[in-house]
Amino acid sequence: MPSKSSDESFSNLCQLFRLLSDKTRLQIAMLLAKGERNVTSLCKELNLPQPTVSHHLGLLRMNKVIINKRKGKPVIYAL
């Protein structure tokens, strides 16, 4: 019988896979794996509007897949 911590780990992993099963979120994660980026550069690379990219960044951030930090005015995102 699996332990409670093992069940929790599987649940967390399932949640991560569900989150990354979206093409846009997976693309964002892959781009951020290559280095930090701001929303503007992600929009250009993904050819998507800013609200769409910001929505996906918010979901990734809320689920602790990415972090954000402010460098002056722009916000920089990283894995």
Tens place of pLDDT for every residue, the chain, 79 residues? 556 778 888 998 999 999 999 999 999 999 999 999 999 999 999 999 999 999 999 999 999 999 999 988 889 999 9
Q: Which one-letter amino acid corresponds to residue 40?
A: T
CA–CA separation, 53 and 75 (whole Å): 13
- Report yes or no: 53 and 46 within 8 Å, Cβ to Cβ: yes
CB atoms < 10 A from the CB of 15, how many? 11
Predicted TM-score (pTM) of the model is: 0.87
